[in-house]
Amino acid sequence: MPPSVYVLGLAVFALGTSEFMLSGLLQPLSRDLGVSIPRAGLLVSAFAVGMVVGAPLLAAATLRLPRRVTLIALLAVFGLGQVAGALAPTYGVLFASRVISALACAGFWAVGAAVAMSLVPVNTRARAMAVMIGGLSTANIVGVPAGSLLGQHAGWRSAFWAVAAMSAVALAGVIALVPRTEPAKDADRPRLRRELRIYADKLVWLNVVTIALNAAAVFAVFSYLGPLLTDVAGMAENRLPTVLALFGLGGLIGTAIGGRISDGHLFGTMYGGIAASTGALALLALFARIPAAAVGLSLLLGVTAFMTAPALNARMFNLGDAAPTLAGATTTSSFNIGNTLGPWLGGLVISAGWGYQAVAWTGAALAAGAVVTTALASLTQRRARRRTAAAPAATALASSGGAAPRR
Protein backbone atom coordinates (compact mmCIF):
# COMPACT_ATOMS: atom_id res chain seq x y z
CA MET A 1 0.00 0.00 0.00
CA PRO A 2 1.50 3.41 -0.95
CA PRO A 3 2.62 5.58 2.03
CA SER A 4 0.36 8.38 0.76
CA VAL A 5 -2.71 6.23 1.53
CA TYR A 6 -1.56 5.93 5.15
CA VAL A 7 -1.09 9.70 5.30
CA LEU A 8 -4.70 10.09 4.18
CA GLY A 9 -5.68 7.69 7.00
CA LEU A 10 -3.80 9.92 9.47
CA ALA A 11 -5.72 12.94 8.22
CA VAL A 12 -8.99 11.03 8.63
CA PHE A 13 -7.95 10.29 12.23
CA ALA A 14 -7.86 14.06 12.90
CA LEU A 15 -11.14 14.62 11.05
CA GLY A 16 -12.90 11.78 12.88
CA THR A 17 -11.66 12.92 16.28
CA SER A 18 -13.10 16.38 15.69
CA GLU A 19 -16.39 14.99 14.40
CA PHE A 20 -17.12 12.73 17.37
CA MET A 21 -15.23 14.24 20.33
CA LEU A 22 -18.05 16.62 21.28
CA SER A 23 -19.99 13.68 22.71
CA GLY A 24 -17.58 13.78 25.66
CA LEU A 25 -17.32 17.59 25.87
CA LEU A 26 -20.95 18.72 25.96
CA GLN A 27 -21.17 19.29 29.71
CA PRO A 28 -18.04 21.47 30.21
CA LEU A 29 -18.74 23.27 26.94
CA SER A 30 -22.33 24.08 27.89
CA ARG A 31 -21.23 25.39 31.30
CA ASP A 32 -18.48 27.57 29.85
CA LEU A 33 -20.61 29.10 27.08
CA GLY A 34 -23.79 29.31 29.15
CA VAL A 35 -26.00 27.19 26.90
CA SER A 36 -28.14 24.14 27.56
CA ILE A 37 -26.85 20.65 26.78
CA PRO A 38 -29.48 20.15 24.02
CA ARG A 39 -28.33 23.40 22.41
CA ALA A 40 -24.72 22.31 22.74
CA GLY A 41 -25.74 19.03 21.13
CA LEU A 42 -26.78 20.94 18.01
CA LEU A 43 -23.06 21.35 17.34
CA VAL A 44 -22.97 17.61 16.58
CA SER A 45 -25.94 17.87 14.21
CA ALA A 46 -24.42 20.93 12.51
CA PHE A 47 -21.29 18.95 11.71
CA ALA A 48 -23.26 16.01 10.28
CA VAL A 49 -25.47 18.25 8.13
CA GLY A 50 -22.39 20.12 6.93
CA MET A 51 -20.89 16.79 5.86
CA VAL A 52 -24.04 15.82 3.93
CA VAL A 53 -24.20 19.12 2.05
CA GLY A 54 -20.50 19.82 1.76
CA ALA A 55 -19.34 16.60 0.13
CA PRO A 56 -21.14 16.94 -3.24
CA LEU A 57 -20.86 20.74 -3.36
CA LEU A 58 -17.12 20.86 -2.75
CA ALA A 59 -16.51 17.84 -4.96
CA ALA A 60 -18.24 19.65 -7.83
CA ALA A 61 -16.57 22.99 -7.09
CA THR A 62 -13.05 21.50 -7.06
CA LEU A 63 -13.57 18.99 -9.85
CA ARG A 64 -11.04 20.55 -12.23
CA LEU A 65 -8.43 21.47 -9.62
CA PRO A 66 -5.38 19.28 -8.97
CA ARG A 67 -6.44 16.87 -6.26
CA ARG A 68 -3.28 17.33 -4.18
CA VAL A 69 -3.83 21.11 -4.11
CA THR A 70 -7.46 20.55 -3.11
CA LEU A 71 -6.48 18.21 -0.27
CA ILE A 72 -3.93 20.71 1.06
CA ALA A 73 -6.40 23.60 0.93
CA LEU A 74 -9.23 21.68 2.59
CA LEU A 75 -7.01 20.31 5.36
CA ALA A 76 -5.66 23.80 6.03
CA VAL A 77 -9.20 25.22 6.27
CA PHE A 78 -10.17 22.36 8.59
CA GLY A 79 -7.20 23.07 10.88
CA LEU A 80 -8.03 26.77 10.98
CA GLY A 81 -11.60 25.82 11.87
CA GLN A 82 -10.27 23.96 14.91
CA VAL A 83 -8.24 27.02 15.94
CA ALA A 84 -11.36 29.19 15.56
CA GLY A 85 -13.28 26.72 17.73
CA ALA A 86 -10.60 26.77 20.42
CA LEU A 87 -10.68 30.59 20.50
CA ALA A 88 -14.47 30.96 20.09
CA PRO A 89 -15.77 33.61 22.54
CA THR A 90 -19.44 32.72 21.99
CA TYR A 91 -21.63 29.80 21.05
CA GLY A 92 -22.43 31.41 17.69
CA VAL A 93 -18.77 31.63 16.70
CA LEU A 94 -18.21 28.01 17.76
CA PHE A 95 -21.27 26.92 15.73
CA ALA A 96 -19.95 28.70 12.64
CA SER A 97 -16.52 27.11 13.09
CA ARG A 98 -18.12 23.67 13.24
CA VAL A 99 -20.03 24.24 10.01
CA ILE A 100 -16.88 25.44 8.21
CA SER A 101 -14.89 22.50 9.59
CA ALA A 102 -17.60 20.08 8.47
CA LEU A 103 -17.59 21.46 4.92
CA ALA A 104 -13.80 21.10 4.72
CA CYS A 105 -13.98 17.64 6.28
CA ALA A 106 -16.61 16.51 3.76
CA GLY A 107 -14.60 17.78 0.83
CA PHE A 108 -11.43 16.12 2.10
CA TRP A 109 -13.22 12.78 2.52
CA ALA A 110 -14.62 12.92 -1.01
CA VAL A 111 -11.41 13.98 -2.74
CA GLY A 112 -9.18 11.90 -0.46
CA ALA A 113 -11.15 8.75 -1.23
CA ALA A 114 -10.82 9.44 -4.96
CA VAL A 115 -7.06 9.95 -4.54
CA ALA A 116 -6.71 6.71 -2.56
CA MET A 117 -8.60 4.82 -5.27
CA SER A 118 -6.37 6.28 -7.98
CA LEU A 119 -3.16 5.20 -6.21
CA VAL A 120 -3.95 1.48 -6.07
CA PRO A 121 -5.07 -1.24 -8.52
CA VAL A 122 -8.80 -1.90 -8.87
CA ASN A 123 -8.52 -5.22 -7.02
CA THR A 124 -7.16 -3.52 -3.87
CA ARG A 125 -9.61 -0.63 -3.63
CA ALA A 126 -11.35 -2.02 -0.55
CA ARG A 127 -7.98 -2.40 1.23
CA ALA A 128 -7.14 1.24 0.47
CA MET A 129 -10.51 2.36 1.82
CA ALA A 130 -9.92 0.19 4.89
CA VAL A 131 -6.81 2.24 5.66
CA MET A 132 -8.78 5.48 5.49
CA ILE A 133 -11.70 4.09 7.48
CA GLY A 134 -9.15 2.67 9.94
CA GLY A 135 -8.25 6.28 10.72
CA LEU A 136 -11.87 6.85 11.70
CA SER A 137 -11.93 3.69 13.84
CA THR A 138 -8.71 4.74 15.58
CA ALA A 139 -10.27 8.15 16.24
CA ASN A 140 -13.06 6.40 18.13
CA ILE A 141 -10.58 4.26 20.09
CA VAL A 142 -7.98 6.91 20.91
CA GLY A 143 -9.02 10.37 19.76
CA VAL A 144 -12.51 10.62 21.25
CA PRO A 145 -11.60 9.26 24.73
CA ALA A 146 -8.44 11.42 24.73
CA GLY A 147 -10.51 14.48 23.82
CA SER A 148 -12.88 13.70 26.68
CA LEU A 149 -9.96 13.39 29.13
CA LEU A 150 -8.46 16.67 27.90
CA GLY A 151 -11.83 18.35 28.32
CA GLN A 152 -12.11 17.12 31.91
CA HIS A 153 -8.58 18.13 32.99
CA ALA A 154 -7.54 21.02 30.74
CA GLY A 155 -10.83 22.47 29.50
CA TRP A 156 -12.82 21.69 26.36
CA ARG A 157 -10.78 24.18 24.28
CA SER A 158 -7.65 22.06 24.73
CA ALA A 159 -9.29 19.27 22.71
CA PHE A 160 -9.72 21.65 19.77
CA TRP A 161 -6.07 22.73 20.04
CA ALA A 162 -5.02 19.06 20.01
CA VAL A 163 -6.99 18.38 16.82
CA ALA A 164 -5.50 21.51 15.23
CA ALA A 165 -2.02 20.14 16.00
CA MET A 166 -2.91 16.73 14.49
CA SER A 167 -4.24 18.51 11.41
CA ALA A 168 -0.92 20.33 11.01
CA VAL A 169 0.98 17.00 11.16
CA ALA A 170 -1.39 15.46 8.59
CA LEU A 171 -1.02 18.53 6.37
CA ALA A 172 2.76 18.16 6.41
CA GLY A 173 2.35 14.50 5.46
CA VAL A 174 0.04 15.30 2.53
CA ILE A 175 2.47 17.94 1.24
CA ALA A 176 5.41 15.54 1.52
CA LEU A 177 3.92 12.24 0.35
CA VAL A 178 0.80 12.68 -1.79
CA PRO A 179 2.02 12.83 -5.42
CA ARG A 180 1.51 15.92 -7.51
CA THR A 181 -1.16 15.69 -10.17
CA GLU A 182 -1.94 17.95 -13.08
CA PRO A 183 -5.51 18.55 -14.22
CA ALA A 184 -6.50 16.28 -17.08
CA LYS A 185 -6.84 17.90 -20.47
CA ASP A 186 -9.04 17.61 -23.53
CA ALA A 187 -11.18 14.43 -23.53
CA ASP A 188 -9.92 13.28 -20.12
CA ARG A 189 -10.71 16.58 -18.45
CA PRO A 190 -13.27 16.12 -15.66
CA ARG A 191 -16.69 17.44 -16.61
CA LEU A 192 -19.48 17.89 -14.09
CA ARG A 193 -22.18 16.91 -16.58
CA ARG A 194 -20.38 13.64 -17.34
CA GLU A 195 -19.84 12.84 -13.67
CA LEU A 196 -23.49 13.58 -12.88
CA ARG A 197 -24.48 10.69 -15.14
CA ILE A 198 -23.79 8.26 -12.31
CA TYR A 199 -27.04 9.41 -10.72
CA ALA A 200 -28.98 7.91 -13.63
CA ASP A 201 -27.91 4.46 -12.42
CA LYS A 202 -30.45 2.95 -10.03
CA LEU A 203 -27.73 0.73 -8.58
CA VAL A 204 -26.00 3.90 -7.33
CA TRP A 205 -29.18 4.94 -5.54
CA LEU A 206 -29.62 1.48 -4.05
CA ASN A 207 -26.10 1.72 -2.67
CA VAL A 208 -26.87 5.19 -1.27
CA VAL A 209 -29.91 3.82 0.56
CA THR A 210 -27.97 0.79 1.81
CA ILE A 211 -25.15 2.96 3.20
CA ALA A 212 -27.60 5.38 4.83
CA LEU A 213 -29.68 2.60 6.43
CA ASN A 214 -26.58 0.79 7.70
CA ALA A 215 -25.14 3.98 9.22
CA ALA A 216 -28.50 4.98 10.69
CA ALA A 217 -28.85 1.56 12.33
CA VAL A 218 -25.51 1.95 14.11
CA PHE A 219 -25.87 5.59 15.12
CA ALA A 220 -29.44 5.19 16.33
CA VAL A 221 -27.88 3.07 19.09
CA PHE A 222 -24.38 4.57 19.40
CA SER A 223 -25.80 8.06 20.05
CA TYR A 224 -27.68 6.75 23.09
CA LEU A 225 -25.28 4.01 24.14
CA GLY A 226 -24.32 5.91 27.31
CA PRO A 227 -27.80 6.09 28.84
CA LEU A 228 -28.58 2.59 27.54
CA LEU A 229 -25.64 1.21 29.51
CA THR A 230 -26.21 3.29 32.66
CA ASP A 231 -30.02 3.36 32.88
CA VAL A 232 -30.79 -0.10 31.47
CA ALA A 233 -27.68 -2.20 32.13
CA GLY A 234 -26.96 -0.40 35.42
CA MET A 235 -23.29 0.34 34.67
CA ALA A 236 -21.39 3.16 36.39
CA GLU A 237 -20.73 6.28 34.30
CA ASN A 238 -16.98 6.03 34.79
CA ARG A 239 -16.99 2.78 32.79
CA LEU A 240 -18.52 4.38 29.70
CA PRO A 241 -15.21 5.55 28.13
CA THR A 242 -13.97 1.95 28.30
CA VAL A 243 -17.06 0.64 26.49
CA LEU A 244 -16.82 3.40 23.88
CA ALA A 245 -13.18 2.46 23.33
CA LEU A 246 -14.22 -1.19 22.94
CA PHE A 247 -16.73 -0.16 20.28
CA GLY A 248 -13.93 1.67 18.49
CA LEU A 249 -11.64 -1.35 18.86
CA GLY A 250 -14.36 -3.49 17.31
CA GLY A 251 -14.54 -0.97 14.47
CA LEU A 252 -10.80 -1.27 13.85
CA ILE A 253 -11.03 -5.08 13.81
CA GLY A 254 -14.04 -4.98 11.50
CA THR A 255 -12.32 -2.55 9.14
CA ALA A 256 -9.27 -4.81 8.93
CA ILE A 257 -11.45 -7.86 8.20
CA GLY A 258 -13.57 -6.02 5.64
CA GLY A 259 -10.52 -4.60 3.91
CA ARG A 260 -9.04 -8.07 3.43
CA ILE A 261 -12.14 -9.91 2.21
CA SER A 262 -14.19 -7.25 0.40
CA ASP A 263 -12.15 -7.11 -2.81
CA GLY A 264 -12.82 -10.80 -3.48
CA HIS A 265 -16.28 -11.08 -1.90
CA LEU A 266 -17.97 -7.68 -2.20
CA PHE A 267 -21.62 -8.69 -1.88
CA GLY A 268 -20.79 -11.48 0.55
CA THR A 269 -19.15 -8.96 2.89
CA MET A 270 -22.12 -6.62 2.60
CA TYR A 271 -24.64 -9.40 3.29
CA GLY A 272 -22.64 -10.90 6.13
CA GLY A 273 -21.74 -7.65 7.87
CA ILE A 274 -25.18 -6.02 7.69
CA ALA A 275 -27.00 -9.22 8.66
CA ALA A 276 -24.63 -9.65 11.61
CA SER A 277 -25.33 -6.04 12.68
CA THR A 278 -29.06 -6.80 12.54
CA GLY A 279 -28.54 -9.77 14.82
CA ALA A 280 -26.25 -7.89 17.23
CA LEU A 281 -28.76 -5.04 17.57
CA ALA A 282 -31.67 -7.42 18.15
CA LEU A 283 -29.67 -9.28 20.81
CA LEU A 284 -28.75 -5.97 22.44
CA ALA A 285 -32.44 -5.08 22.64
CA LEU A 286 -33.18 -8.45 24.28
CA PHE A 287 -30.23 -8.61 26.72
CA ALA A 288 -29.44 -4.94 27.42
CA ARG A 289 -30.16 -5.42 31.14
CA ILE A 290 -27.21 -7.81 31.48
CA PRO A 291 -24.03 -5.66 31.71
CA ALA A 292 -21.64 -8.29 30.32
CA ALA A 293 -23.93 -8.95 27.37
CA ALA A 294 -24.35 -5.24 26.66
CA VAL A 295 -20.58 -4.67 26.66
CA GLY A 296 -19.87 -7.72 24.49
CA LEU A 297 -22.57 -6.80 21.98
CA SER A 298 -21.24 -3.21 21.80
CA LEU A 299 -17.86 -4.64 20.79
CA LEU A 300 -19.52 -6.99 18.28
CA LEU A 301 -21.55 -4.14 16.79
CA GLY A 302 -18.34 -2.19 16.19
CA VAL A 303 -16.90 -5.17 14.31
CA THR A 304 -19.96 -5.85 12.14
CA ALA A 305 -20.76 -2.21 11.39
CA PHE A 306 -17.26 -1.29 10.23
CA MET A 307 -16.65 -4.57 8.41
CA THR A 308 -19.08 -3.47 5.69
CA ALA A 309 -17.63 0.03 5.24
CA PRO A 310 -14.77 -0.89 2.84
CA ALA A 311 -17.17 -2.96 0.72
CA LEU A 312 -19.80 -0.20 0.57
CA ASN A 313 -17.16 2.37 -0.37
CA ALA A 314 -15.52 0.14 -2.98
CA ARG A 315 -18.89 -0.72 -4.53
CA MET A 316 -19.75 2.95 -5.00
CA PHE A 317 -16.42 3.54 -6.75
CA ASN A 318 -17.01 0.49 -8.94
CA LEU A 319 -20.43 1.80 -9.94
CA GLY A 320 -19.16 5.34 -10.52
CA ASP A 321 -15.79 4.44 -12.01
CA ALA A 322 -16.09 7.23 -14.60
CA ALA A 323 -16.93 9.77 -11.89
CA PRO A 324 -14.56 9.04 -8.99
CA THR A 325 -14.86 12.45 -7.29
CA LEU A 326 -18.66 12.45 -7.17
CA ALA A 327 -18.61 8.77 -6.21
CA GLY A 328 -16.52 9.64 -3.14
CA ALA A 329 -18.74 12.63 -2.36
CA THR A 330 -21.89 10.53 -2.67
CA THR A 331 -20.50 7.90 -0.32
CA THR A 332 -19.57 10.55 2.26
CA SER A 333 -23.02 12.14 2.07
CA SER A 334 -24.73 8.75 2.31
CA PHE A 335 -22.92 7.80 5.51
CA ASN A 336 -23.70 11.17 7.05
CA ILE A 337 -27.36 11.01 6.06
CA GLY A 338 -27.45 7.85 8.17
CA ASN A 339 -25.47 9.55 10.94
CA THR A 340 -28.14 12.28 11.02
CA LEU A 341 -31.19 10.06 10.52
CA GLY A 342 -30.27 7.42 13.12
CA PRO A 343 -30.02 9.70 16.18
CA TRP A 344 -33.18 11.53 15.11
CA LEU A 345 -35.19 8.30 14.87
CA GLY A 346 -33.69 7.09 18.16
CA GLY A 347 -34.75 10.35 19.81
CA LEU A 348 -38.29 9.95 18.50
CA VAL A 349 -38.50 6.46 19.98
CA ILE A 350 -37.24 7.67 23.36
CA SER A 351 -39.59 10.70 23.33
CA ALA A 352 -42.49 8.33 22.66
CA GLY A 353 -41.74 6.68 26.00
CA TRP A 354 -40.63 3.32 24.62
CA GLY A 355 -37.32 3.35 26.48
CA TYR A 356 -33.69 2.94 25.49
CA GLN A 357 -34.04 -0.73 24.58
CA ALA A 358 -36.47 0.26 21.84
CA VAL A 359 -33.62 2.23 20.23
CA ALA A 360 -31.81 -1.08 19.66
CA TRP A 361 -34.95 -2.51 18.03
CA THR A 362 -35.06 0.58 15.80
CA GLY A 363 -31.46 -0.03 14.79
CA ALA A 364 -32.20 -3.69 14.05
CA ALA A 365 -35.12 -2.69 11.80
CA LEU A 366 -32.96 -0.19 9.90
CA ALA A 367 -30.20 -2.78 9.44
CA ALA A 368 -32.76 -5.33 8.19
CA GLY A 369 -33.84 -2.75 5.63
CA ALA A 370 -30.21 -2.48 4.48
CA VAL A 371 -30.14 -6.27 3.98
CA VAL A 372 -33.21 -5.95 1.74
CA THR A 373 -31.68 -3.17 -0.38
CA THR A 374 -28.47 -5.20 -0.71
CA ALA A 375 -30.52 -8.13 -2.01
CA LEU A 376 -32.32 -5.83 -4.47
CA ALA A 377 -28.99 -4.47 -5.71
CA SER A 378 -27.59 -7.97 -6.17
CA LEU A 379 -30.72 -9.12 -8.06
CA THR A 380 -30.76 -6.00 -10.26
CA GLN A 381 -27.08 -6.42 -11.12
CA ARG A 382 -27.52 -10.10 -12.04
CA ARG A 383 -30.44 -9.23 -14.33
CA ALA A 384 -28.40 -6.48 -16.01
CA ARG A 385 -25.53 -8.91 -16.62
CA ARG A 386 -27.89 -11.48 -18.13
CA ARG A 387 -29.31 -8.85 -20.51
CA THR A 388 -25.79 -7.78 -21.49
CA ALA A 389 -24.76 -11.38 -22.12
CA ALA A 390 -27.89 -12.06 -24.15
CA ALA A 391 -27.43 -9.03 -26.42
CA PRO A 392 -24.56 -10.46 -28.57
CA ALA A 393 -26.49 -13.70 -29.09
CA ALA A 394 -29.55 -11.77 -30.23
CA THR A 395 -27.43 -9.67 -32.60
CA ALA A 396 -25.83 -12.80 -34.10
CA LEU A 397 -29.24 -14.42 -34.60
CA ALA A 398 -30.57 -11.34 -36.35
CA SER A 399 -27.56 -11.12 -38.66
CA SER A 400 -28.09 -14.76 -39.73
CA GLY A 401 -31.59 -14.01 -40.91
CA GLY A 402 -33.34 -15.13 -37.78
CA ALA A 403 -32.93 -18.80 -38.45
CA ALA A 404 -31.55 -21.12 -35.84
CA PRO A 405 -28.43 -23.00 -36.86
CA ARG A 406 -29.01 -26.55 -38.08
CA ARG A 407 -27.07 -29.56 -36.99
Q: CA 217 to CA 190: how far, in whole Å?
A: 35
What's residue 283's pLDDT?
A: 94
- Structural domain boundaries in the chain: 1-179, 195-387
| Rounded CA separation 223/9 (Å) | 24
351 class by beta-carbon count within 10 Å (0-12 exposed, 13-18 middle, 19+ buried): exposed
DSSP conformation letters of 338-366: HHHHHHHHHHHHHHTT--THHHHHHHHHH
One-letter amino acid identity for 13? Answer: F
Per-residue pLDDT, 155: 82
Phi, psi of 268 (to 5 degrees): -60, -40
The rounded distance, in Å, linking the Cα atoms of 262 and 275 is 15
Q: Are the CB atoms for 221 and 363 separated by under 8 Å? A: yes
From the candidate CATH numbers 2.120.10.30, 1.20.1250.20, 1.20.140.10, 1.10.3090.10, the one assigned to the domain spanning 1-179: 1.20.1250.20
Per-residue pLDDT of the chain in tens (407 residues, 90 and over written 9): 778 788 888 888 888 888 777 766 766 777 888 877 667 767 777 787 787 777 777 777 766 677 788 888 989 999 999 999 899 898 889 888 888 888 888 888 778 877 787 777 767 767 777 777 777 767 767 777 777 777 777 888 888 899 899 899 989 988 888 887 655 555 555 566 666 777 777 888 888 899 999 988 988 887 777 778 888 888 877 777 778 778 878 888 888 888 778 777 778 888 888 999 999 999 999 998 898 898 899 889 889 988 888 888 778 777 766 566 677 678 777 888 887 788 778 878 877 888 888 889 999 999 999 999 988 888 887 777 777 666 565 555 555 555 444 44
In whole angstroms, give the CA distance from residue 324 to residue 316: 9
CA distance 17 to 21: 6
Q: How many CB atoms lie within 10 A of CB 380?
A: 13
Per DSSP, the three-state class of 234 is coil
pLDDT confidence of residue 404? 44
Could you say which of 1.10.600.10, 1.25.10.10, 1.20.1250.20, 1.10.1040.50 is the CATH number of the domain covering 195-387? 1.20.1250.20
Q: Which pTM was predicted? A: 0.73
* 1-179 and 195-387, same CATH topology: yes
